[in-house]
Structure formats: structure tokens, C-alpha cells
Amino acid sequence: MKKQTIKYTNKKNVNPNWYAINAEGHVLGRLASLIAKRLMGKNSVLYTPSVDVGDFIVVYNAEKIILKGKKEDQKMYYQHSGYPGGLKEISYKTMLEKKPEFIITAAVKGMLPKGKLGRQMLTKLKVFKGESHSHVAQQPKNLELKY
């Protein structure tokens, strides 16, 4: 009787692709969800939950992302220093002016696995303000989002 063998994916078998996404006019949550799936590699046949098989994602025009409803006025970002009275809150509008890259990164981070592998996946996300980005040498393919 033949012994059945199972082939597992490891880091050596993975060849990640580079994709570029224009965030202009896209809804934050929907965009972040699609980015998180690509970073985890759920679109790949090699997908294994314990191995980082995802692609590299370059997002540009981060300042032109949109939110639906009243979230633009109501959404807050919180940060605590660890000291009593050390809670800081920053509104979405302020964050969009100061650090639009953080908005997309924070949304995607919440959708990735928690722990070492999730942090490793997040390093494959590159978010930029404006049209230009520094990853032209990798020749990222434009990814058209359909939702």
C-alpha cells in the first residue's frame, strides 16, 4: 500500500508579486479588506495560514480615500501613553491632513492576524501620499478593484 504524502507550502516555494492600487475614490473598509486578503495570500493556491504567502501591495493617493455616512465627522483614533490621563484622541479629518498613510495602515492592520505573522504581513504593505511612490523599480502591476 502506498503511503500518502502531503506537500506543505514553505517560504522557499513562494514568489510574491507586486501590485499597485490607486486609493482615489475607494471606500476605506472595502479597500482595506481586499488589501488584507492579498497580504495574507488568500487569493493564492499556495495559501497556508501558518506561512506568509501574500503579495506586496503599494497604495498611492492615500489622502483621496473616502468614508460613507457620518463617519468622516465621527470617526476618532485613540492613543494612550500608559500614564493616567494620557489618552489622546485625533479625529479622522485631522489624521487625513497629517498622516493619511496611517488611516489605511491601521484599517488593514485590524484585519490581519494578530501576532508575529500578522506583523510580518503588514511589512509588505507600502502606503504613499500622492501619485508617486518609491517602488517603481519593482514594476508593480496595477490592480483594478471590483466590488
How would residue 138 be classed by pLDDT, with cut points 50, 70 and 90?
Answer: very high
Q: What is the DSSP string of 73-89?
A: HH-EEEEE-SSTT-EEE
Q: Each residue of 46-84: pLDDT tens digit?
A: 899 999 999 999 999 999 999 999 999 999 999 999 999
The model carries a pTM of 0.91
Structural domain spans, the chain:
16-68+101-142
Residue 147 pLDDT > 80: no
Q: What is the pLDDT of residue 92?
A: 97
- Residues 77-114 as b or e (16 or more Cβ within 10 Å = b): eeeeeeeeeeeeeeebeebbeebbbbbbbebbbebbee
CATH topology of domain 16-68+101-142: Ribosomal Protein L13p; Chain: A; (3.90.1180)
Q: List the strands of the sheet with 18-22, edge to edge.
A: 125-127, 56-60, 18-22, 141-142
